[in-house]
Amino acid sequence: MTKLLEVRNLAKAFGGIQAVDNVSFELEAGQLLAMIGPNGAGKSTCFNLINGQLYPDRGGITILGQRTNGRKPRDVWKLGVGRTFQITCTFSSMTVLENVQMALLSYHKQTRSLFRKVRRLYVNESMELLELVGIAAQSRRACGVLAYGDLKRVELAVALANRPKLLLMDEPTAGMGPAERSQLMELTSAIVRTRKIGVLFTEHDMDVVFTHADRIIVLNRGELVAQGTPSQVRANVKVQEIYLGTGKTPGTAFPTS
């Protein structure tokens, strides 16, 4: 197994607050790694550090064998990293299809082309991606008018456009109904298995986490408190404390698989 992502002793402070403190973990191909923790645990900061939006104070990030500290998001993307956002982030003046085309244009280094119309470029490839995430039927609709859950799917299609080896998904199912959630996560799992990629995702819904994640890391106040398989994490006393305070039995804290 190749290591897609290695995070070593990562640290980042904002003012006096240590948002991420000495966090280390790694992710291998074919794995779904969930990052959980209460609000303010440092999940988003961690994400933004890996993605390149933030520059770490200490520590190292290695993606596909390359150290990426301080690289811009667009350079991280070029290594083969796809990203979806907590609050959906699509091009609202474009259709669903065009959003995916846009990502493909970038992947094929065509963004500065002044010759052919976009209407005829990478349509089939885009439609395949849309079919994969299940919104091909809405391909001609403007992203500005789409339902939130559908936007999340568009984001996934866009993130897959550069054939990433690593997917970073910040709350991929936020704002979706329960049925839709498990549908999307099953889809993601399937992609992970067939394409042999790795996924790092954060999630609030513990059902989703414990059903779909291969491994889980738990953050609290910027520190890594536990990591392991779902059952290991479920049994971890520290994790119990964080989520429930003390004195509860493990069985009621997290869903069983």
Partner 1 sequence: MDRTLGFYIVQFLTGLADASALFLVACGLSLIFGVSRIVNLAHGSFYMVGAYVAYYLIGFFSEGGCAFWAGIVLAAVVVGLIGVGIEVLLLRRLYGAPELFMLFATFGVVLIMQDLSRWLFGAEDLLGPRAPGLAGSVNIRGTLLPQYDLALILIAPLILGVLWLLLNRTRWGILVRAATEDREMSDALGVNQTRLFTSVFFLGSFLAGLGGAIQLPKGGANLLMDLNTIAEAFVVVVVGGMGSIPGAYLAAVIIGELGSFGVLVFPESTLVLMFLVMAVVLVIRPHGLLGQAGAGAHVAFRAAEAVLQPASKKLKLLGLACLVLILVMPVLVGTFQLVLLTEIALFALASMSLYFMMGPGGMVSFGHAAFFGGGAYAAALLVHYLQTPMELAVLLAPLLVGLLALIIGWFCVRLSGVYMAMLTLAFAQICWSIVFQWGEVTGGDDGLLSIWPSQWASDKIVFYYLTMILSIGGILVLRYFIFTPFGYTMRACRDSALRVDSIGINLARHQCLAFAVAGVFAGLAGGLYVFSKGSVFPDEMAIPRSFDFLFMVLLGGVETLFGPIAGAAAFTWLHDQISRTDFWQLILGCIFVLLVVAFPQGIVGSINVRWGRFFANQNH
Q: Between 121 and 140, how does the x/- string for binding to partner 1 read (CB under 8 A)?
A: x------------------x
In whole angstroms, what is the distance from residue 98 CA to residue 101 CA? Answer: 5
Q: How far is CA 211 from each of CA 128, 207, 215, 217, 256, rounded to the nearest angstrom? A: 27, 6, 11, 15, 8
Q: Give min distance, CB of 132 to partner 1, in A.
A: 17
Q: How far is the CB of 194 from partner 1 (least distance, A)?
A: 22
Query: Which single residue is written with the structure tokens 């408190």?
Result: 225
Which residue from 45, 68, 101, 236 is in contact with partner 1, where contact means CB under 8 A?
Answer: 101
Q: Taking the complex as a whole, how short is the minimal distance between the CB of residue 191 and partner 1, in angstroms?
A: 18
- Strand pairing of 166-170 and 81-84? parallel
Closest CA to 97 of 69, 122, 72, 114: 122
Choose which of 25, 77, 201, 210 interacts with partner 1 (CB under 8 A): 77
Between residue 138 and residue 157, which ones bind partner 1 under the rule CB under 8 A?
140, 142, 144
Beta carbon nearer to partner 1, 99 or 236 = 99
How many CA atoms does the CB half-sphere of 247 hold within 13 Å? Answer: 1
Which of 118, 206, 235, 253 binds partner 1 (CB under 8 A)? It is 118
Q: Is 233 in the site for partner 1 (CB under 8 A)?
A: no
Single-letter residue type at 221: R
CB of 103 to partner 1, least distance (A): 5
What is the separation, in whole angstroms, between the first and last Cα of the chain? 26
**Do the Cβ atoms of 218 and 239 come closer than 8 Å?**
yes
The DSSP secondary-structure symbol of 11 reads E
Decide if residue 68 touches partner 1 (CB under 8 A): no
How many chain residues are in contact with partner 1, going by CB under 8 A? 41
The answer for residues whose C-beta is within 8 angstroms of residue 14's C-beta and 6 or more apart is 45
Q: Report the residue from 36, 41, 63, 158 that binds partner 1 according to the rule CB under 8 A.
A: 158
Which residues within the stretch 171-200 sit at the binding site for partner 1 (CB under 8 A)?
Answer: none
For residue 55, the minimal CB distance to partner 1 (Å) is 14
Interacting residues with partner 1 between 29 and 48 (CB under 8 A): none
Q: Are strands 3-14 and 17-28 parallel, antiparallel or unpaired?
A: antiparallel
Contact 18, 11 (CB under 8 A): yes
Choose, by CB under 8 A, the member of 94, 187, 235, 253 that binds partner 1: 94
Near partner 1 by CB under 8 A: residue from 105, 129, 156, 176: 105
How many beta carbons lie within 10 A of that of residue 64, not counting itself?
17
Q: How far apart are CA 8 and CA 67, in angstroms?
A: 11
90 in contact with partner 1 (CB under 8 A): yes
Q: What does the binding site for partner 1 look like in residue numbers (CB under 8 A)?
A: 51, 53, 72-75, 77-78, 83, 85, 89-95, 98, 101-103, 105-107, 110-119, 121, 140, 142, 144, 158, 161-162
